[in-house]
Amino acid sequence: MERTFIAVKPDGVQRGLVGEVIRRFEAKGFTLVGLKLLQVSKDLAEQHYGEHQEKPFFPGLVAFITSGPVVAMVWEGKGVVAAARKMIGATNPLNSEPGTLRGDYGIDIGRNIIHGSDAVETAQREIGLWFQSEELASWEPSLSSWIYE
Ligand code: UDP
Ligand code: MG
């Protein structure tokens, strides 16, 4: 089953949106297989956002993501990587559709609430970066047959 890495960024945590993020993913029918709150180190932030190393916003992004606690999660389900990106919305919250997390709760691109892996391979890399394998639980919700045909 496909898995994706989701993180509620420091602005989302400070604004009390952790529960809303979890609620939406649960309500959709995805399965939570990993969850922790942590203060992100500079090293982890730089590795996570490595693809953006040369971008002008990189130092500010690393400073922001390490500025307060982050809630890191792994969600599982059919098509979860792409579905999560749709639920999250466009990178710039002013361009995110209403009904998406960024569209409903954000304004500035540097305060866009939440991260979600952009592809299956990215998700595998990010899950490995943020979680030890023993921190992830493989379980089948008893509701499965009411969610999948
Ligand atoms: N970001 C920013 N300024 C920009 C572009 C991106 O602060 O001009 C931040 C923003 O928090 C974004 C993150 O860098 O979520 C990673 O950028 P990416 O293009 O990968 O967007 P995402 O995959 O998060 O939608
Ligand atoms: Mg990205």
Q: Is 52 a catalytic residue?
A: no
Percent of the chain with pLDDT over 70: 100
Give me the residue label for tokens 């029918």: 29
Residues with CB under 5 A from ligand 2 (ion): 118
Per residue in 133-145, pLDDT tens?
A: 999 999 999 999 9
Mean predicted confidence (pLDDT) in 87-109: 98
Whole-number Å distance between alpha carbons of 34 and 50 = 23
Q: What is the pLDDT of residue 78?
A: 98
Q: What is the pLDDT of residue 64?
A: 98
Q: What is the pLDDT of residue 37?
A: 98
Confidence of residue 101 (pLDDT cuts 50, 70, 90): very high
Per residue in 28-74, pLDDT tens?
A: 999 999 999 999 999 999 999 999 999 999 999 999 999 999 999 99
Give the angle 33-85-10 at the CA atoms, nearest 5°: 70
Nearest ligand to residue 122 Cα: 2
Q: What is the pLDDT of residue 71?
A: 99
85 is an annotated ligand-binding site residue: yes
Confidence of residue 146 (pLDDT cuts 50, 70, 90): very high
Annotated catalytic residue: which of 7, 34, 89, 115? 115
Whole-number Å distance between alpha carbons of 11 and 30 = 24
Residue whose CA lies nearest to ligand 1 atom number 10: 110
Residue whose CA lies nearest to ligand 1 atom number 18: 91
For helices 80-88 and 18-28, give the axis angle rounded to 10 degrees: 130
Residues 6+ apart with CB under 8 A from 71: 7, 8, 12, 13, 18, 21, 35, 36, 37
Task: Give the Å distance between the CA of 124 and the centre of ligand 2.
Answer: 14
pTM score: 0.98
Instruction: Provide residues with CB under 6 Å of ligand 1.
Output: 52, 57, 61, 91, 109-110, 112, 115, 118
Task: Give the Å distance between the CA of 2 and the centre of ligand 1.
Answer: 23
Q: What is the pLDDT of residue 59?
A: 98
